[in-house]
Structure 1
Amino acid sequence: MRGGAEQQIRALKYSPFHYPLTTEDDRITISLLYVDDEEDLRDLTQIYFTELCTDITCTTAASGAEALELVAKHPFDAVVSDYQMPEMDGIDLLKRIRTAGLEIPFIIFTGRGREEVVIEAINNGADFYLQKGGAVRPQYAELVNMIRKAVGQRQDAGALRQKEEQLRLIIDTMPLCISYLDREGRCLCVNRRFAENFGITEEECIGRRIEEVLPPETASTIKQSMKAALQGESDFQERSEEYGEGEVRHFREGCIPQRNGHGEVIAFLSLSVDITHLKRAEAFAVNRARRQAALAELGQNALTDIDRQALMDSAVAITAEVLEVDFCKVLEPLPSGDRLLLCAGTGWRAGIVGQTTVGASTDSQAGYTLLTNEAVIVEDLRTETRFTGPSLLREHEVTSGISVIIGSVDAPCGVLGAHSCRRRRFSREDVDYLQAVANILGAVMKGPAAMGP
């Protein structure tokens, strides 16, 4: 029967009414798998594509099982299958291919034209359904068109999906919290950083209003930006938010409106960027300049005939301002050696300075500083285990503090301390500044305190 198929194709090919189904504009080659249990139809189809469609290479299979083996070995661009075949029909083959996760374009090409078969084929992922019968040329021309259309659609969908994945990768890795909102403030899409930052999944955001998923202050800022955007304004605002104890983060937030062809706002792109590192860099530069100026002022005072007590008073006042702490103090050892006198300070209750003493051992932070001969940093006095917090600090509700030795390690002449009521993490730069102030004081302070408590 193969000879009969070849005669049909030759008659069609050399007919005066024949025109080629492949043109010079065709730039892709389609790898096709044709599945049919009838040998004559397999031969006819293969010869047809070989002779008339040079952009389609056709491989045939006599059964669904053989087709599955071929699909597992070769990356076909499309599958055309008969419906009624023994052991495994075309719908079963389609299901097996889709269950395997393969999105190969699939066309049912069969003599069975029942409506329920068409519906079942489409419901199971078939791209097209074509009924056999009638003149060869129009029928195969329609099949070729379906193959090319199905392959083109899948390639377009694949290219679109790839672009979406690329765009998603870019959006998810940007150092921004991004949300796409409708006019009512419902989340249509958010990026990964947005979800992670607010402790929710992307799926939990979709369809919900921003006030349902964001902290009140953040939601209010976005609402204000949306209102400004509706009025044609570009409104990006900065806000600060406290995370945990002592950590403040800074953000710059705003909305960009999306408009339709009539200029109407239909949605918003909400952006939030963490600018904490920029704020910290700015603050660091400002603080460094302030500290350098403060040290220059104290150094200049030390070189003049300024009174010793006046220098200490100036040092604690300037240090409290520069380090932004609630309390600052200078402690000197008494002649007995077992107590330290608060001889200068700022922030303390009236009558404390010049009268109060603390222990010179592990019963105070200052005493522990002298014992260790190094700077001591306390993040939370309530959980401190290295020494006992003296009543002076507890009564003033001190939480965090830093202290350094005044003078040399071999011959210390006091302790300089700075303390805060709120929990705070002192930096290496804070230690260096405090030690620089202590060094200036050490050049002036000589010997033990002359006065008693």
Structure 2
Amino acid sequence: MTNLILIVDDDVLTRIQLRELLENSEYQIIEASSGEQALSLYCQKQPEMVLLDALMGEMDGFTCCAHLRKLPKGENIPILMITGLSDHTSVERAFSSGATDYITKPIHWQVLRQRVRRLLEAKRIMEELQEQTEQSKRREAQLVMALKSAQMGTWDWNITTGKVTWSDDKESLFGLEKDKFAGTYEAFMNCVYPEDRDLVTDAIIRAIEEGSEYNLEFRALLPDNTIRWIASKGVVFRNEKGVAVGMSGVDMDITKRKQADEALETYANRQERVAELSQLALAGSSLDVLMQQAVNVVARSLGVEYCKILELSVDQNSFLLRSGVGWRQGLVGSAKLSTQKESQAGFTLISSEPVVVNNFASETRFGKTQLLADHNIVSGVSVVINGQERPFGILGAHSTKARKYNRDEVYFLQAIANVLATAIERKLTETRLRQSEERYHILAQATNDAVRDWDLRTNQVWWNDTITTLFGYSIDDACSTSNWWCERIHPDDRWRIISDMQMAIDNGRQVWSNEYRFRRADSSYAYIFDRGYVVRENGSAVRMIGAMMDISERKHVQEELQRQNLRSQLFADFTLKVRQSLQIDEILSTSVIEVQKLLNADRVLILRLRSNGSVAVVQEAVVPGFPVMLGLNISDPCFGENCIQKYRQGHISSLADIENSSIQSCHIEFLRKFAVKANLIVPILLHNQLWGLLITHQCTQNRTWTAWEIELLRQLADQIGIALAQAKLLEKETLQLQELTRSNEELQQFAFIASHDLQEPLRKIKAFGDRLKTACNDHLSEQGRDYLDRMQNAAQRMQALIEDLLTLSRVTTRAQPFIPVNLSQIVSEVLSDLEVTIQQAGGHIELGDLPTINADPLQMRQLLQNLIGNALKFHRPQEAPVVSIYGEIVTEENGVQMCQFIVQDNGIGFNEKYCDRIFQVFQRLHGRSEYEGTGIGLAICRKIVERHQGSIIAKSQPGQGAKFIVKLPIGK
């Protein structure tokens, strides 16, 4: 694209000459003869550069330049001011009004052409760098979002240096604020729960020394003392000698999964305890044994110190401490309590519902009985043991600590109370009816289990009504022999259950239990926990009383939990393998191979969506013997825009039987060519745009895809999309790096031109000026000698300016590697170089200790020479300069150690409102006639400090000297 340049000059001839010169260089030109016209044309045409005459009619170039800078996008446009004025004041005025460069008449056309080209090139490079910076920020934000969506944090450990790097999500995972992680292995171990630190250390050692997989789960201790479960996977990186040099990996928050595991395990254990107690009750144990077992189970399961069973008296006026755990000796069996509502037990009896006390100190419904006070009871929960005709009593659990009892704990306590109630009722019934069959039937009807009474002598079986409630069979359907029950046991379980039961009967066992699957009336299967009690007469088994509990819901929960754990494990393994490379081809190849393993599919494809609407098979993993689709370009009319649009919206296609599906016949014919019997298709989205499709084929037979397989494939497709996004980001960053390298090379070339081509004319001006002064000094008038001196001084200033600009550019273009640098030695060398200056000024240097840091030695010398030189130069008249140089090691808030050194003088000082301005290029607070210099020295200092990732600030007051404070990383 041709650059548009605005020429502003009230001289027609000059505009013509400039137009011809620039048009010959293939620039587009627009002209303005006044400052007002220039401002109007700029707003209309938005040129890329302005050539501006300084001296014009109503609005001069300096005023026009200042107005241009205030217009939209005017702050970045190059403005080259052309004028016949060369005095210092005009130059200062040009740059202070906003000029980018300054050239004097008569114009050296070749120099002008080069300056125009360089200024336009610098503008283009600056715009590209700004755009690259914005793109990098957007990519970084996208990567952060990707990690957050995956609920993962990444980490990297440089074993050689000991540095540990965490992503922001990883810090958040461990409850740390951003950038608060100290970055060391010890800091990481401090975040691990103390009891798990040996586990983590052993896993790391095994991974490094034995090459085993680093894959474990541990607890993290957060700053607020809460605990979070972490699943961590990582890989070890080794050098060419096989020595471990680093580890990288990902961590995932699995706290919810662990809590679910623990909750399920707790629930299952409590259900098992309830079942065992029920079995004990069914086995005919005495009430005393059953009650003691019940209080022991409650105390262990709820983690309380005290548990009690209070038996309600016949007149219902008092409770007897019938059974208990933890109470003082002699109280169980003798202690009596009131049934009034002023106690927890009495209130529970009256309310007929569970009563929870988290802390007696804040309880207002009732008070603490003497029994509870004597044992320092603080909290408790109690439920009614309901009898058929009246309550039997109260089951209570208590602790000496304040605590909250959750719903599951209350339900468990009530379940134990219900078992006790059932057992008590049965015992009471047995006592009243002398083990009659009516008593047995009443007990059978009181339970939620399917109860059977099997006469082993006649093979006759009696079932209670629950056989209908649980399994859908009517009493009439249930055959009166055991064969009916045996036939409905799942074929895979039948022989195991029958043989195990027969062994219990033959070996004299009294109690039998097992789990199996039992067919319901609707042909579905229920998971059963079956318990049986063998009744014997004279040593021979005559009856077996059994209770079948439906545990299908618990089994389904366990199976779902196992599937979730498996899916989480597979998902983490897949993510780690896919993320091991940032090359797109490797990502896709790894993806199809791993998906084929995970789903045991005959073929896995990745299809890439083309811009013309077609799709291409870019990766494939297929079982040998089936047709290969890799490289195939698909333009199937059945696979049109409507179908693509659905996948853009996240649609997932799951077909168990291609031949009998509802898809179009042409699509079936296409799939038939590749032996596809069933398929599963999920979209791959990249930045919320459809990138392609992840497809699994089953070619040997039809296949019904389960919900967890579909969800797993969807999550895997999401991870592929994230990996692709990271690969794309790496690719763009690589291109940006190449472009920055090219820009640096061009900047170095420019530095060479500035060093040679620009300084050569200046050297000639100085040389010929010296000759002219030597040969013709006597023939020159006073004015001529003045002109000659001014010309030589201007050339000298220009050369100094060019050299300082080169020094500023070489801070980054010719930087040297960092090595250990003794700052005290550097200061000594600088003071040696400035010895004459110090003596002429009558100065005094106070030098303190300075540390050794990792830095560029040449740039440290430049930095200190500029700061000390300024301190000597800007001293007060009639007062000798005193310069103090000293330093110390300071620790930042993030724990990083920094070197801080200070250069302080007793000079003229300055107003602190100029603290930022003095570090800018060409910024001076005093005229050149007062203090020499180019105004670039402090800009070089700041650039050097920034290259070393440090900081420099100035503090001062007029007439009170100045203090420059430099902070630099110590390095390693």
TM-score, scaled relative to structure 2? 0.34
Whole-angstrom distance in 2 between the partners of 1:361 and 1:66: 100
1:278 to 251, 257, 270: 257
| Deviates further, 232-241 or 61-70 | 61-70
**1:417 and 2:396 correspond:** yes
The answer to whether the Cα contact below 8 Å between 1:338 and 1:360 also exists between their aligned partners in 2 is yes
| Deviates further, 395-404 or 80-89 | 80-89
The answer to whether the Cα contact below 8 Å between 2:193 and 2:221 also exists between their aligned partners in 1 is no
- In the alignment, which residue of structure 2 is the partner of 1:134? 109
- In the alignment, which residue of structure 1 is the partner of 2:340? 361
Change over 3 Å in CA distance of 1:161–1:48 after alignment to 2: farther
Counterpart residue type for residue 348 of structure 1:
W
1:329-340 paired onto structure 2 within 5 Å: 329-335=308-314, 337-340=316-319
Per-residue deviation, 1:237:
4.7
Structure with higher RCO (Cα < 8 A, 6+ apart): 1
Could you say which structure has the larger radius of gyration?
2
- In the alignment, which residue of structure 2 is the partner of 1:191? 168
Query: Can you give the 5+ residue segments of structure 1 that lack an aligned partner in the other structure?
Result: 1-20, 23-29
- In the alignment, which residue of structure 1 is the partner of 2:409? 430
Whole-angstrom distance in 1 between the partners of 2:87 and 2:244: 49
Per-residue deviation, 1:371:
2.7
**1:295 and 2:270 correspond:** no
State the secondary structure of the residue aligned to 2:63: coil
| Deviates further, 216-225 or 341-350 | 216-225
Change over 3 Å in CA distance of 1:171–1:329 after alignment to 2: same
Whole-angstrom distance in 1 between the partners of 2:327 and 2:264: 30
Whole-angstrom distance in 2 between the partners of 1:143 and 1:445: 100
- In the alignment, which residue of structure 1 is the partner of 2:320? 341
1:238 to 218, 238, 245: 218
- In the alignment, which residue of structure 2 is the partner of 1:3? none
- In the alignment, which residue of structure 2 is the partner of 1:9? none
The answer to whether the Cα contact below 8 Å between 2:8 and 2:38 also exists between their aligned partners in 1 is no
- In the alignment, which residue of structure 2 is the partner of 1:164? 140
Per-residue deviation, 1:406:
0.9
- In the alignment, which residue of structure 1 is the partner of 2:571? none
Change over 3 Å in CA distance of 1:305–1:409 after alignment to 2: closer
Per-residue deviation, 1:316:
1.8
Whole-angstrom distance in 2 between the partners of 1:175 and 1:279: 16
**1:145 and 2:145 correspond:** no
Whole-angstrom distance in 2 between the partners of 1:259 and 1:60: 67
- In the alignment, which residue of structure 2 is the partner of 1:406? 385
Whole-angstrom distance in 1 between the partners of 2:15 and 2:219: 71
Change over 3 Å in CA distance of 1:355–1:218 after alignment to 2: same
Whole-angstrom distance in 1 between the partners of 2:88 and 2:331: 98
Whole-angstrom distance in 1 between the partners of 2:42 and 2:333: 95
Counterpart residue type for residue 321 of structure 1:
R
Change over 3 Å in CA distance of 1:351–1:105 after alignment to 2: farther
| Deviates further, 398-407 or 268-277 | 268-277
Counterpart residue type for residue 151 of structure 2:
P
Counterpart residue type for residue 352 of structure 1:
L
Counterpart residue type for residue 138 of structure 2:
Q
1:204-353 paired onto structure 2 within 5 Å: 205=180, 217=192, 221=197, 224=201, 228=205, 234=214, 236-239=216-219, 241=221, 249-252=228-231, 272-335=251-314, 337-353=316-332
Whole-angstrom distance in 1 between the partners of 2:158 and 2:87: 45
Whole-angstrom distance in 1 between the partners of 2:335 and 2:33: 100
The answer to whether the Cα contact below 8 Å between 2:348 and 2:383 also exists between their aligned partners in 1 is yes
TM-score, scaled relative to structure 1? 0.65
Per-residue deviation, 1:207:
5.9
State the secondary structure of the residue aligned to 2:414: helix
The answer to whether the Cα contact below 8 Å between 1:77 and 1:104 also exists between their aligned partners in 2 is no
Per-residue deviation, 1:114:
11
Change over 3 Å in CA distance of 1:104–1:441 after alignment to 2: farther
Whole-angstrom distance in 1 between the partners of 2:94 and 2:203: 47
Per-residue deviation, 1:271:
5.6
- In the alignment, which residue of structure 1 is the partner of 2:486? none
Per-residue deviation, 1:310:
1.9
Whole-angstrom distance in 2 between the partners of 1:330 and 1:338: 16
Whole-angstrom distance in 2 between the partners of 1:418 and 1:391: 16
Q: What is the RMSD of the two structures over their aligned residues, measured on CA atoms?
A: 5.7
Counterpart residue type for residue 286 of structure 2:
D
Change over 3 Å in CA distance of 1:396–1:409 after alignment to 2: farther
Whole-angstrom distance in 2 between the partners of 1:212 and 1:35: 61
| Deviates further, 253-262 or 171-180 | 253-262
**1:155 and 2:126 correspond:** no
Counterpart residue type for residue 321 of structure 2:
L
- Residues 4-27 of structure 1: per-residue CA shift (max 9 Å, x gap): xxxxxxxxxxxxxxxxx76xxxxx
The answer to whether the Cα contact below 8 Å between 1:118 and 1:129 also exists between their aligned partners in 2 is no
| Deviates further, 348-357 or 392-401 | 392-401
Whole-angstrom distance in 1 between the partners of 2:20 and 2:316: 107
Change over 3 Å in CA distance of 1:109–1:70 after alignment to 2: closer
Change over 3 Å in CA distance of 1:280–1:195 after alignment to 2: closer
Whole-angstrom distance in 1 between the partners of 2:74 and 2:215: 46
**1:109 and 2:80 correspond:** yes
1:112-123 paired onto structure 2 within 5 Å: none
Per-residue deviation, 1:370:
1.8
State the secondary structure of the residue aligned to 2:333: coil
Change over 3 Å in CA distance of 1:244–1:161 after alignment to 2: closer
Size of the alignment, in residue pairs?
406
Whole-angstrom distance in 2 between the partners of 1:429 and 1:276: 20
State the secondary structure of the residue aligned to 1:160: helix
- Residues 327-379 of structure 1: per-residue CA shift (max 9 Å, x gap): 32211223564432221122434333223344433443322222322112233
Whole-angstrom distance in 2 between the partners of 1:59 and 1:427: 84
State the secondary structure of the residue aligned to 1:426: coil
- Percent same amino acid among aligned pairs? 24
State the secondary structure of the residue aligned to 1:412: coil
